[in-house]
Structure 1
Amino acid sequence: MIELSKLLPDDWASLMEAELRSGRFKGLEDKLSTAYTNLGELIQPQPDNIFRALRETPVKNVKVVILGQDPYQTPGLAQGLAFSIPKEIKPGWRAFPSSLRNISKAIALDGYQALAHGDLSHWAQQGVLLLNASLTVQLELAGSHANIGWQEFTDALINELASQKDQIIWLLWGAHAQKKKPLIESAMAKHHKNHLILCASHPSGLSVYKTNEPFIYPGDSHSCGHFKRVNQILEERGKTAIAWNSLN
């Protein structure tokens, strides 16, 4: 039996108190327990890493939110942080995801060093919440856990975060993430919060240059500028900029 409430960090449990009392959360817990019981390691990430993004970035530390969709469905990649992979998988390897390659390219185009590896836990520890819309997935089946209750849970989390905290920078990459924009804007209007939302196409190889807000512009001439802009805004607010690359 997966007891999600016991895996959830206390500060996030407090933020999500109303959702945790709902029947939706119990239904999610039951469906997830069944999936792990029946399919074992085909469900990723492992239970201890389901809420890793929340564990690495406490509520009080959140400065930036990057919204993903699913954990990686390729074996050995999912680790509980959106877009992040284990440090051992190097940028030149075939297993290194295209979305992460393009994130690294955009960072370099913004004037920083490209990623030395794909483990983004150093972002999380600096206040960048790396949140997927679904926190688990069945390997090789994209979107396989989208309808077991995660969408409702993460929507509630986004709403509570946008309602209770202020001056968060939200990076919405791709159509799926941008569906959350009205949710954030509604919380801003209702609770008089001053968040900033930045949008671009998804950094995956299929989408990176598409839409009228590309993540990277054709010819790799320049990026959407999100990494540089985030740091400019943080510094204007008297906050510490994000070290987008780590050589450790």
Structure 2
Amino acid sequence: MPAFSKEDVPADWRNLLGDYFDSSAWQDLEQNLQAAHDIDTNHIQPEPSNFFKALKLTPVKAVKVVILGQDPYHSPGLAQGLAFSIPATIPTNSRAFPSSLRNISKALALEGFGQLPNGDLDAWAEQGVLLLNTALSVKLGEAGSHANLGWKSLIDRLISTLAAQRPQLVWMLWGGHAQSKLPLIESGKDQLILQSSHPSGLGVYKTDRPFLEPGAKASCGHFSKANEWLKKLGQKEIVWVDKTHQTELFS
């Protein structure tokens, strides 16, 4: 792995983070991540060039919606630097297609947007949806394995500063981990905060704010609520599903 430095972070996000890069927390992250790669460089997901893909595809001024994930997919060939997103080449009917994306697609269909044509969410990021994991790397096969390398200090600073400097954003907080960031977001002005259970596995139904209603009869409505908020602000709504390229996810 080449030297890991603040230059890997896009300039606009570096400006947002300010003096964070002078902190011991940043230095610790640099050192810990370099050490992890020196030990096992072939088993780190995603590729280092994609650690900050979410920030590269969604500039600070373009952010409209923030969806928080936890850490990258730790199965081979899935992580690509955006929360919940996977390569478009993975078939929607494949066992490798994550349950979280399957349930996200169900929610979109229930809200009238249609099903995802594939799991690549680049188009969301390019429209202003910041798909941000709270750890930006993981060891292959070991969920949460890089959570203690120092990513928390960086992502917490990014979330709190973004909320403080950018009013009227939409935040989708799915599951307890994402919702633990609520105090950082509430310090901002006029933020729309949407909360539900996490979309993965059976947990999708198991809270008093389910992502999907049991039997997938209804969704939490987050995608519709986000667009209603954007429309009220006079902003362009998110095209959640490009129906010109749709395929059937559930057959």
TM-score range, shorter chain: over 0.9
Tell me the amino acid that sits aligned with residue 90 of structure 1: P
Q: Is the 8 A contact 1:57 1:129 kept in 2?
A: yes
Does residue 223 (structure 1) correspond to residue 224 (structure 2)? The answer is no
Q: Matched residue of 1:170: which SS? A: strand
Please show how residues 197-216 of structure 1 align to structure 2 within 5 Å: 197-216=193-212
Deviation at 1:4, TM superposition (A): 2.9
CA offsets 1:132-189 (integer angstroms, 9 cap, x no match): 000000011111111110011100100110111110000000000000011111x22x
Which structure 2 residues correspond to residues 1-248 of structure 1 after superposition, within 5 A?
1-185=2-186, 187-188=187-188, 193-246=189-242, 247=245
Deviations 1:83-141 (A, max 9, x none): 00001012111110000000000000000110000000000000000000000000111
TM-score, normalised via structure 1 length: 0.96
Structure 1: which 5+ runs fail to align? none
CA–CA distance in structure 2, aligned partners of residues 235 and 164 of structure 1: 21
Partner-residue secondary structure (3-state), 1:67: strand
Rounded Cα–Cα distance in structure 2 between residues aligned with 1:8 and 1:97: 28
Structure 1 Cα separation of the partners of residues 225 and 164 of structure 2: 23
- Give unpaired runs (5+ residues) of structure 2: 247-251
In structure 2, C-alpha distance between the alignment counterparts of 1:198 and 1:81, rounded to whole Å: 20
Runs of 4+ in 1 over 3 A off after TM superposition: none
- How many aligned residue pairs are there? 243
Alpha-carbon deviation of 1:245? 1.3
CA distance in 2, matches of 1:163, 1:4: 25
CA deviation map 1:171-227 (0-9, x unaligned): 000000000011111x22xxxx11110000000013111100000000111000001
CA positional deviation for 1:38: 1.4
Cα separation, 2, equivalents of 1:219 and 1:201: 15
SS in 2 for 1:103: helix
RMSD: 1.0
Q: SS in structure 1 opposite 2:158?
A: helix
CA contact (8 A) 1:2 1:47 kept: no
Q: Secondary structure at the match of 2:132?
A: strand
Tell me how far apart the structure 2 counterparts of residues 50 and 4 of structure 1 sit (CA, whole Å): 12
| 3-state DSSP of counterpart to 2:119 | coil
Identity %: 54
Q: Name the CA distance, whole Å, in 1 between partners of 2:178 and 2:218.
A: 22
Q: Which amino acid aligns with 2:122?
A: S
8 Å Cα contact 1:107-1:113 kept in structure 2? yes
Question: Greater shift after overlay, 139-148 or 123-132?
Answer: 139-148
- Report the CA distance between 1:2 and its aligned residue: 2.9
* Distance in 2 of aligned mates of 1:155 and 1:211: 25
One-letter code of the match for 1:239?
A: Q
